Each structure stands twice: as C-alpha cells, then as structure tokens.
Amino acid sequence: MLASINNTSRLPHDLKSVLFNMPPFKDEHILLIAPGSQTTLAQLGLPESFTPARLHFPTRMFPAEKKGEFEPYKVRERRREAHSTNGAGIDVDMRDASAPADKGETKVALQSTPKLKAADGVAVTNKEQNSKSPLPEEVVYEEDIVSMEGAIYPMQNGRIADWQCFFSLLTHIYNTLSPPFHTPIMLISEPVWSARDREVLTQFIFEKFKTPAFCLMDSALAACYAYGTPTATVVDIGHGKADVTAVTDFVVQDHGRGIAVEGCGGKAMTDRLVELLRPKGFTREMCEQIKRSNITEILPFGTPLPATISPPKSSNTALLSSTGSLNGRPPMPRGPGGNAQPGNGEGDEDDGVLNVAAIVSGNTSEFLAKREKERAERTVSKKSDPMNKPSRLPNAKKDRASFQFEEYTRIEPQNGAFTTAGQYIRQKREIEVGVERFLLTAPSKEKTADRCSGGILEDLASQIHHTILSVPDSTKRSELWDSLIILGNGSKVKGFTTALISTITQRFMLSPSATIFTSELPSNISTPLATGGTNTPSHPGQTPGPFHHPAAHGVNPLLVAATHANNPIPATSANHDPAISTHHRSTGHSQTPTSIKTLKPPEYFPEWKDQGGSNAPVATGAGVTNTTGPASSGGRNPPTALVSNRGMEEAVFLGAQIAAKVIFVLDQGLSKGFLSRVEYNEGGPATIHESSFS
C-alpha cells in the first residue's frame, strides 16, 4: 500500500527517464540468466518463438591458480618433457576464462606458445612455466572438462555460499555469451535470497556488466508467467531443496512460503537410492542415472510394490548383471568391439571452447558421433527384442528392470603419448535394478534421525498445505489448490507429480460429506460446494467486481445476497465505518481443499512441448550443454541424447522470456518491472526492492 503510493508518486520521474534517456531494447539483446544450485540456464536474445534455454552451465567453478579466482573447468597440472612443437595450433579461448583471470592468462599463454603443443580437443594454457625448472620439463595446465574434482558449487540449496565464486560464474556466463553493451539483464532470483543478497547482486550486475537495465525476477513469479496464470501454487523441486510459493494475482506471498525446504529435491532421491543400493555394489553415479532413467518411477500413494507380489529369492542376483562380458567393475573395453568409443571426439564437444583442432577435425568427430549413434541404436534394438517378450508388463508391475548405464572414464595417457589432453571414453552397459527404483521418496534412514515424517512427498505435502493455509485472503485458497504448478528438474522423475498429487489428496482433501451436505438445514448455499468442487471461478484472470461478495466464490452474487438476507446480520447502524462492511469476511468462506489440480502447461509454445519421458540417461560430467539447434555453432552439440531433453520442468525460463519481452520490449518500463541505470545511480542497490518483480 505504501509502496504503491510511492510508486505512483515517482512515476512521472521514471517515465521521463525511461522515455527520454532510454532507447528501446531489442529482443536479441536481452540477456537471461537463471541460476540454480546445479545448473544455470542462460540465453542471449529472445527468439521469435520462445525456446528452452540455449545454454546450460553447470553451477560450479574450479579454484584457479590465484587464490580467490575461479576457472570454469578443472585445471590439471602436469609435468612433461618439453620438446619442440610439431604443428597443432594452440588454442586458448579467452572468452571462456573468467574475466579477472583474463588479462594475466593472455600474457602467459602468448609467452608459452612456442613451447606448447595442444591436443585436439582441450584448451591448454600454460602459466609461469619454467619459472622454477630449468630442466627440459615444463608444467602444463590443461583444462579437464569432465572431472569434477575440487569443484566449488557457489550455490548451496539456493543460497549463495561463495560470493566470489558465484560472481565469477556470472562473469564466465556473461563472457561466454559476450553480449553487446546495450543489453538489459534479467536474473531469476531464488526465493531464499535475502533482501540484502538481492542488493549485492544488483550492485554487482550494474557495476561489473554496466547494464542499462536490470530485472531481478522471483522464480515462482516466472513460473506463473510461463503458465499464464495470475494465481498459482508453485512447487519448484530442485536439487537439494524445494520451494513452495503461493502467488495470488501476480503477487508472491512471502508469508508462509516454503523457502528452500531442505531434503526435498533430486539429491535426496539419489541419496535414498544410494542408501538402498550401495550395499549391492552400486556407485553414486549409477544411482544418479537410475534416478534419471525410464525404469524409475514413483508410484502413487498406496500402490503396492511389485516386489511384494513376488519377492526376489536371492539378493545378489539383482545387481550388476551387465550385458556382454562386463561383470561388476569390468576392465575397460578399449576396442570398438564393446559399446564404448574412445572419446576424444566427445568430451571436447561439450566444451564451450572453440578450438582450432576441433574445427579442423570437425568432420571426423561428427562422423564418429554418427557412427556411434548408429551402433548404439543397433545394439539397443538387438537387445530389446529378447527382453521385451517376457516383460510386457508395465514398468510399475515389474520387480526388476534394466537400464543403460553410461560413464566417462579417464584414460591416463601412456608414456610418450602424443597427446597432452585428458581423454575419456564413454562406456555403456546394461544394469539391472530391483524394486529399489520405486522407493526414491520413501523416508531414508539417514533422514529419520533428523525428522520423523514419511519422506519427501509427505514433507512437500505438508509444506504445500501450510503455504496455502497461510495465504491471508482465504477466498483465494481454493483457487490455489486448483492451480498447482509442479516443476523443477527434481520433478522429472517419472510419476513424481502424480504421486505428489495423490499424497496431497490423501492427506488433505476434504471428504464430500463435509462439503456437500443436503441435510436438514435449508439454506446452505453460502457453503458454495453443492456443485462438487467446481467452486472456483473458471477464469482465473477474473477479478471480482465491486459488488462481488467475498463469500461468493464465483457463485451468483444475487444468490448470495438472497441467502445472506436470511442471516441474522442486523441492520448496521449509521455510524459505522464503511470499511467494516467491506472487509474480508473470512468466515464467509469454507474449508479447503475440495479439489486439487495441477495447471495445464500452455500449449502455444511448441518448443516447450513436454518431452514425455525421454529421460535418457546421461553421464553427469558433461560441461556446458547446448540445448537448441540452429543458432549454436555446428559440431558442438554433444552426441548424447541430452539435446532435446528439456521441457516444462524448466518453465521458469520460459516465464523469464515472456516477462523479459513484456518489461524490456513491450511496455518500456511503464510497469516498473526493471531498474534502469539512471535509477540505480540515483538510489543505489536498495532501489531493486521497488521494482515490481523482485
């Protein structure tokens, strides 16, 4: 109320600054960044039809040589004999290095040029070599794009744990995309960021990137934009945490919001699998891929496990029965006979770095990738034939199932090997899993030490209940129950949404008799449930008119007026404050929920169509992944199935694009959706709280 008064009083001034100082922004100049604890989505420019984020950066950095600085990739130090270079050019991609490191590196790299030779595929930089060793040995630093050793994740459960590292990640992203100077920036903010955090970020963005306009948008609000709804309960399942937010009429409800509810994300599900499967010889990486595979499913509340129908006889059969000769931890198959393919055409393709060698050999690697794909298809079809016969049952009825496990293995180069690069081979093998794959959300032993609830779904269900119940305007609650948006990559596990809805329904749904009662009482129409739960307005956008009775819930107001005339509300005396008669009468409403629904995703964004279970497993080590096709430089797409695997679980990014289009391009700041540089210079970082999206 106060703020809105403030806003209107400031409006003329803003208008002036916007209209006269600010040339319009162009679609292709808008930079969007949506940071997450695991993956940060980014894109420069709004395409004509909104696409999933073009770039996925892993939200991690590696400590650089100099303390306090960070590199996007693991830098490995190796000593090797110095001998004269023989040809292959060096490639140091400066765009990729974080800015602070930039200047220093350029110099050093130039110095070292004559002494180095690069392997195809991996950027090699060399700093300070020869400073200590006069021997014909030099220290070579190479970027190891798959290794995660020593990685620092600057965001932990949404919180920014390491500011330096987070800033260098932003810088890395900014440099990779290398936007022009007139680029407004939209950053999706995590609900857990405090007001002060937001100020610090605002300051960083303005002063480091010199952006003309900046918008910090709440991720839950972005989800609402994506779904085109003003009111929704947004359940965002992330890696280590989940956020549950009630949004009413595009206003994020701060009170009762489930912020970074710990232990409710994808990580907890992997943890649970590890707990169940580690005794049987599974590694964490395997569990991670099991979680992402098609055979994993979360069954709706009360569904019996297939194992309870036919319990496995011996526990050790389950496990690593892999195809072919690979048993347990197999020796590395090198030859083309196995499913593996020596990977120097693969690892580097995930690399955001352009390098000469890769371009030169581009055809070759494409060819290799193609060949491998064909081979994989062949093997899959070969295998699936005999396997399909005994298992016509749906996955949920089978007590065991297998999936393709895929991993990168580093080959230590042999002595005198020609290449300095870390080489990886990608291996695939089949692994069978038992009913553990249905138990992802069961309460884990580790967690029960700390909490005594019944697992992730139950925790989420109570949080959703709490969040909706905390919405002060009780007339909105029914609509909130009917507009759940469940998103986030943690929700991608098959069956998650259905199972969550069934858990909520089981726990909180009111029985019909509490809502529909045609008992002895004559006029109960003010309990607006006689129509079996369709009591919410059918058009979520509609705002009640001035005579809309809060009790009415979309029921014909005349009807309500008529029934309320029977009620013993006495004629109010003249000296009544008019406010009294118009206030929210919370008792004019009844208990919720009488129905629980998820919102349908919008259908007018063809690129965002649900990829429906194309949850192909992918080794998790890969670097920047490039999601969408044509604009990205050819040959860099990883051959893995990852490419088209992004759907509405990342709807926040869709919402970010829609909102960016609206606030930066269409309305030119009239809605005060962003903070302009002029305003920032006048008011400082705290001005960010006045923009309407944060």
Partner 1 sequence: MNPSIPPSSAEYGGGTVLIRRDEVSAIVLDPGFSTTRAGFAGEDTPKSLIPTYYGQYSISSQQKHIFGDDIFVTPRPAFSVHNPISRDGVVEDWEMAEKVWEYSFTSRLTGTRSGNFVLNGLDDLHEDEPSREMEGVELEEKPLADSPLLMSECGWNPTKAREKTIEIAMESWGTPAFYLAKNGVLAAFAAGKASALVVDVGASNVSVTPVHDGMILKRGVQHSPLGGDYISSQIRALFKTNSPQPITITPHYLIASKAPVDAGQPPQVTYKAFPPDKTPDASYRTLLEERTLTEFKECVVQVWPGPNRLSATGPNGVANEELAKSSPGRPFEFPDGYNQVFGVDRYRVVESLFDTKAAILDPDSPFPAPVQAQAIPELIKSALNGVDVDIRPHLLANVVVTGASSLLYGFNDRLNQELIQNFPSPRVRISAPGNTAERRFGSWIGGSILASLGTFHQMWISKKEYEEHGVSIVEKRCK
**Under rule CB under 8 A, which residues in 445-504 are in contact with partner 1?**
448-454, 459, 462-463, 465-466, 469-470, 472-474
For 316, phi then psi, to 5°, come to -85, -5
Interface residue with partner 1 among 47, 89, 228, 256 (CB under 8 A) is: 256
Cα 453 from Cα 438, distance rounded (Å): 18
Is position 212 an interface residue for partner 1 (rule: CB under 8 A)? yes
Site for partner 1 in 19-48 (CB under 8 A): 23, 29
Nearer to partner 1, 183 or 489 (CB): 183
Cis, peptide link before residue 593, omega less than 30° from 0? yes
We find the least distance from the C-beta atom of residue 586 to partner 1, in angstroms, to be: 5
Q: Give whole-number Cα distances, 528 to 289, 447, 543, 557, 669, in Å.
A: 48, 42, 18, 11, 41
* Residues forming a β-bridge with 261: 242
Is position 548 an interface residue for partner 1 (rule: CB under 8 A)? no
Interface residue with partner 1 among 137, 207, 374, 446 (CB under 8 A) is: 207
We find the least distance from the C-beta atom of residue 306 to partner 1, in angstroms, to be: 21
We find the least distance from the C-beta atom of residue 51 to partner 1, in angstroms, to be: 22
- Compute and round to an integer the Cα radius of gyration of the chain: 29
Is position 258 an interface residue for partner 1 (rule: CB under 8 A)? yes
Interface residue with partner 1 among 20, 539, 575, 630 (CB under 8 A) is: 575
Is position 79 an interface residue for partner 1 (rule: CB under 8 A)? no
Cα 248 from Cα 536, distance rounded (Å): 14
Is position 545 an interface residue for partner 1 (rule: CB under 8 A)? no
Tell me how many helices (H) and strands (E) the chain has. Answer: 18, 22
Cα 545 from Cα 482, distance rounded (Å): 22
- List CB contacts of 473: < 8 A, sequence separation 6 or more: 248, 584
We find the least distance from the C-beta atom of residue 59 to partner 1, in angstroms, to be: 16
Site for partner 1 in 576-635 (CB under 8 A): 576-577, 579-580, 582-591
Nearer to partner 1, 163 or 418 (CB): 163
Q: Roughly how many angstroms between the first and final C-alpha of the chain, as a whole number?
A: 16
For 554, phi then psi, to 5°, come to 90, -5
Helices (H), 434-523: 445-448, 456-469, 477-481, 496-508, 512-515
Is position 280 an interface residue for partner 1 (rule: CB under 8 A)? no
Interface residue with partner 1 among 317, 523, 531, 614 (CB under 8 A) is: 523
Q: Between 96 and 135, how does the x/- string for binding to partner 1 read (CB under 8 A)?
A: ---xx-----------------------------------
Is position 208 an interface residue for partner 1 (rule: CB under 8 A)? yes
What 3-state DSSP class applies to 258? strand
For 611, phi then psi, to 5°, come to -85, 5
Residues that bind partner 1 (rule: CB under 8 A) add up to a total of 103
Candidates 315, 261, 275; CA nearest to 467 is: 261
Nearer to partner 1, 180 or 281 (CB): 180
Q: In a 10 Å sphere around its CB, with 0-12 CB exposed, 13-18 middle and 19+ buried, how is residue 86 labelled? A: exposed
Nearer to partner 1, 86 or 513 (CB): 513
b/e burial code for range 287-297 (CB count within 10 A of at least 16 → b): bbbbbbbebbb
Nearer to partner 1, 510 or 618 (CB): 510
Nearer to partner 1, 215 or 616 (CB): 215
Stretch that binds partner 1, among 316-324, 390-398, 562-570, 626-634 (CB under 8 A): 562-570
Is position 565 an interface residue for partner 1 (rule: CB under 8 A)? no
Query: Using the 8-state DSSP alphabet, how is residue 416 labeled?
Result: T
Is position 8 an interface residue for partner 1 (rule: CB under 8 A)? no
Is position 157 an interface residue for partner 1 (rule: CB under 8 A)? no
Nearer to partner 1, 116 or 675 (CB): 675
Is position 293 an interface residue for partner 1 (rule: CB under 8 A)? no
* Residues forming a β-bridge with 243: 236
Q: Between 355 and 374, how does the x/- string for binding to partner 1 read (CB under 8 A)?
A: --------------------
Nearer to partner 1, 125 or 171 (CB): 171
We find the least distance from the C-beta atom of residue 630 to partner 1, in angstroms, to be: 22
We find the least distance from the C-beta atom of residue 372 to partner 1, in angstroms, to be: 41
Evaluate whether 242 touches 412 at the Cβ level (below 8 Å): no
